[in-house]
Amino acid sequence: MPWCSARAGIRARTMRNNLFAGRIPNLIPHDNNGTSMRYLTKTASAEDFATQCLILGVFDGKQPGASIAGLPASARKSILAALKKGDLGENSAATLMLYGPPGFKAERVLLLSLGEKKSFSGKKLASAMETAIALLNKNAARDCALLMPEEFQDHNEAYAAARGLVIAAEEQLYHFDQCKSKKNRPKKPLGKLTLLTPDRKRANTLKKAVKHGSAIASGMNLAKDLANLPGNICTPSYLADTARKLGRKSTRLKATALTEKQMQRLGMGALLSVSRGSREAAKLIILEYRGGKENSRPVVLVGKGLTFDAGGISLKPSANMDEMKYDMCGGASVLGTLQACAELELPINLVGIVPSSENLPDGNANKPGDIVTSMAGLTIEILNTDAEGRLILCDALTYAERFKPAAVIDIATLTGACVIALGHHTSGLLANDDKLADELLQAGMEIRDPAWRLPMNEDYDKQLESNFADLANIGGKGAGTITAACFLANFTKKYKWAHLDIAGTAWKSGDKKATGRPVPLLMQMLLKRSKQIE
């Protein structure tokens, strides 16, 4: 093709992409803190609360539980009469709708089966509420209220249950249709959920839980939106613009993005080698949140931001390659976590770093056998160009040293081996500090965003030996998740560090692809570090 024709073609494609990008709505959170509903708490009696739908939990399909047992006789009688007919199934999340039942101001009462009373938990409540929310969102009700079960006697249990059900409700309501010309949404969507309790002290616990849950869900929604966007829209520059918009939302948040020239001056040869095959310039996005004391060392979150990964010269198979737009879920989770922290104004210092690039095949792309020099001065032999995430992360981890961090956590969809090892339920965790690892494991367990620690020792380092450079970027077929972390460990020796491999947990097949994980895990850790929860 003549040079002038090729140049015209490039210009035409750029104009077309820019025109399409201009039609994509602003994905920075909007009203209601970026959630689909408003979440409130109220100290009130259930029978006197006016709502379009009151939700009451029932055990084993027939046992009313302590909350219903405490209702006035007239209200309790109508509920017991409905349960006696046996129309509510015993299975968890079974529902029975009552219209205008005597003794209630509510227009409707939805009886919701919570399963067996002896095994009742916050997780089961959240799961049942997902079903209730899905039902009501397709119904005519615009607002609803849940009488919080009194089975949660401990305030920490009540807090965790309430926060969990808010997150679960948002999971159910989330949809991504930003790129569709026609939106298939309910005509009268559910807009408000109120948690009811007659106990004022308990109401304060629920209020904090709702506030935290809404912020976490909002951060997850941002992470999902960014991850679900196609690669021609969500580019490194788009991520950088998103970070800047977040920075303008809070006086405590400062956002910057280093250009390729600035990274070149810093010696980030590993990161820049990945973007050589792309026409999209790489970005190093930095978000600094100052909520703690001035001299308090920050927690640094480093999120892999590969906005599309074709594998480079080591090209991936074409089947399901479209899902490689999710290779930036680590970076998306960092942005979502920073947003949630700013929304809650947590008293902690936090830094988010997102190295962002594309990995595409091109005449200038990395080739197997190439050797690059990292910011740390270590040389790396690139044996597989599809092992690019660790190349952009290693320079970002070196850059993190300048913040004198209390701890550094990197989050990355790094290895398919992690999916084989742990499936889609549990994130992989490796660390050079036992206390930090235990902190993350505990946080994940508490907020139902679990991780599992894998071993990492010198025996695995031998797999990364190179004949021609300080390191090879892959360690062979065995222990792929571990050797990837061992590679990163070479750049984290000056601070406490943990690595979360979220390749199996950041997204899933189906119509709701991105999950927003591990925003909950990270937020639970930060809430505890900032002493906002016990």
Mind telling me the catalytic residues?
316, 390
From CA 146, how far away is CA 129, in angstroms rounded? 9
**What are the start-end ranges of the E strands in 89-220?**
95-99, 108-113, 143-147, 192-197
The answer to whether 350 touches 431, Cβ cutoff 8 Å, is no
Radius of gyration of the chain (CA): 25
The answer to whether 177 touches 25, Cβ cutoff 8 Å, is no
Neighbours of 8 (CB within 10 A): 12
Q: In the numeric block, which tokens belong to residue 65?
A: 């539980």
**What are the start-end ranges of the E strands in 116-161?**
143-147
The answer to whether 274 touches 388, Cβ cutoff 8 Å, is yes
User: 455 Cβ partners below 8 Å, 6+ apart?
Assistant: 430, 482
Angle between helices 389-399 and 480-489 (to 10 degrees): 30
From CA 195, how far away is CA 485, in angstroms rounded? 43
DSSP string, 395-424: HHHHHGGGG--SEEEEEE---HHHHHHHTT
Q: In the numeric block, which tokens belong to residue 529?
A: 């570090």
Provide the CB-side half-sphere exposure for 445 (13 A, CA).
8
108-113 and 95-99: which strand pairing? antiparallel
